[in-house]
Amino acid sequence: MNEDMHGAIRGLYEGILDAQAWQQSLHTLSNIVGSAHASMLVRDTDRDLMMVNEMVRPVQELFSAYEKEFHALDPGKLFAHNLSPGEWYIDARDFGEGAMQRSPFYREFFHRFDLCSYAACLVERKPHYEVYFALQRSFSQGNFTPADVSALDWALPHMRSAMAMRDRTIGLSTLAQLSGQILERLSFGVIAFSPERRVLLSNGIGERWVRRLDPAGKTGEWQLSRSLTDMVSAACAPRSTVPAQAAIARHGNGACAQLIVLPLPASHVFALPWQQPAALMVIHEDAQAPAELPQLHGMGLPEASERLNVRHETARSQLKAVFLKTGASTQARLTRLLTQLGTALGPGQQECDAGDAA
């Protein structure tokens, strides 16, 4: 195996994270087999559509015309269902040179770009799509033969493996982005701590609380009712894990927040830092609510209306309308509904809705 082969294999695997390395590998494979152009083709088998990706020596007009119009005339599609992953379609062998001369795909499309032959390898077949590695030759290079494409037999297993790893990596990256977006939609803070109180994950609200909390349990202007160190240690204890813990954080101006700490099991799916127990902290900031609301717990409607400077009749009619529109038959059900809505709507959305209402 020469240096070009080693470089091509290395580039395929480096291409999992580096698109330029993948492109360079395709360029090397194209040179080895002697082709004018090369590309990855993705065929949507449900809608019979083709998409050209990752082109070598690209001619945009060539690939655009194929995607938009001439893929429907491509005779290679007649043979695609007979291919197994790793097998080649070679037009001169499978379709025939005589048929190629008569085909409008070649006369009206290929010949216009000084191309005479192509070969395509089925790299991957999924329920709804197929992936091909396609090579095109000019008239000066002649038609493809089985001996030509066999020169790439060593590369195809690596291409399939690298593609599978790249798809898995993209899937994990997409999942991580989605998870981050979901966390940011929460109206409360979330922090995941390692046993050493190192932050593994947090959303925006939680990140603000990371700066407020310190290992000694003191928070500067915020004071915890229980030691953060003790709570995290208890949640991460391997043999005597505490199922749930709670604490109150109080500010000098009277604001307070509720902190709940839950244990997370050790995970052996990701990298080393995750292969240990962790503690999940959930933070509800009571200061986000109007200052009058904590004073209303246990009050009757007349007293609450007076405290909020709202007429009793107005409060009663509005409260009745809320119960009717939400379908909540009891205060407990209404409370659960409001809690669920508060969880689904992030702070940014709540502010926008408040502005619209004004």
Spell out the long-range contacts of 261-268 with Cβ–Cβ below 8 A and sequence spacing 24 or more.
Answer: 261/231, 261/232, 261/234, 261/235, 262/235, 263/235, 263/236, 264/192, 264/235
The packing angle between helices 312-326 and 331-344, to 10°, is 70
Q: 10 Å Cβ neighbour count for 190?
A: 19
Amino acid identity, residue 219? T
Q: Do the domain assignments include residue 335? A: no
Backbone angles phi, psi at 204, to 5 degrees: -60, -45
Q: Do the domain assignments include residue 140? A: yes
Q: Do the domain assignments include residue 297? A: no
| pLDDT score recorded for residue 140 | 94
Give the CATH number of the domain where residue 140 resides. Answer: 3.30.450.40
Kindly state whether residues 107 and 196 are assigned to the same domain: no
Kindly state whether residues 131 and 26 are assigned to the same domain: yes
| pLDDT score recorded for residue 193 | 92
Kindly state whether residues 200 and 142 are assigned to the same domain: no
Q: How far apart are CA 95 and CA 71, in angstroms?
A: 15
Among the three residues 235, 270, 288, which one is the final residue of a domain in this structure?
288
Q: How far apart are CA 202 and CA 234, in angstroms?
A: 20
Kindly state whether residues 142 and 46 are assigned to the same domain: yes
Q: Do the domain assignments include residue 312? A: no
Kindly state whether residues 100 and 33 are assigned to the same domain: yes
Kindly state whether residues 203 and 256 are assigned to the same domain: yes
Q: Do the domain assignments include residue 256? A: yes
List beta partners, residue 257. 249, 285
Give the CATH number of the domain where residue 259 resides. Answer: 3.30.450
Structural domains of the chain, count: 2
Q: Is 89 exposed, middle or buried (0-12, 13-18, 19+ CB in 10 A)?
A: buried
Kindly state whether residues 116 and 262 are assigned to the same domain: no
Kindly state whether residues 156 and 198 are assigned to the same domain: no
Task: Residue 268: give the domain boundaries.
Answer: 187-288
Residue 194 C-alpha from the chain's centroid: 24
Q: 10 Å Cβ neighbour count for 68?
A: 10
Kindly state whether residues 156 and 207 are assigned to the same domain: no
Among the three residues 139, 172, 205, which one is the final residue of a domain in this structure?
172
Q: How far apart are CA 191 and CA 178, in angstroms?
A: 17
Q: Do the domain assignments include residue 67? A: yes
Q: Do the domain assignments include residue 332? A: no
| pLDDT score recorded for residue 335 | 64
Residue count of the chain, please give it: 358
Among the three residues 254, 288, 322, which one is the final residue of a domain in this structure?
288
Kindly state whether residues 28 and 166 are assigned to the same domain: yes
Kindly state whether residues 131 and 213 are assigned to the same domain: no
Q: pLDDT digit of tens for each residue in the chain (358 aa)? A: 588 888 999 999 999 888 899 999 999 999 999 999 999 999 999 998 889 888 899 888 998 999 888 999 999 999 998 999 999 999 999 999 999 999 999 999 999 999 999 999 999 999 999 999 999 999 999 999 999 999 999 999 999 999 999 988 988 888 888 888 989 988 899 999 988 888 988 999 999 999 888 644 444 678 888 889 999 999 988 778 888 888 888 888 888 888 889 888 776 555 455 567 888 888 888 644 444 444 444 556 776 777 677 887 887 888 888 778 777 777 666 666 665 565 545 444 444 444 444 4
Kindly state whether residues 160 and 18 are assigned to the same domain: yes
What does pTM read for this prediction? 0.61
Q: Do the domain assignments include residue 320? A: no
Q: How far apart are CA 218 and CA 193, in angstroms?
A: 17
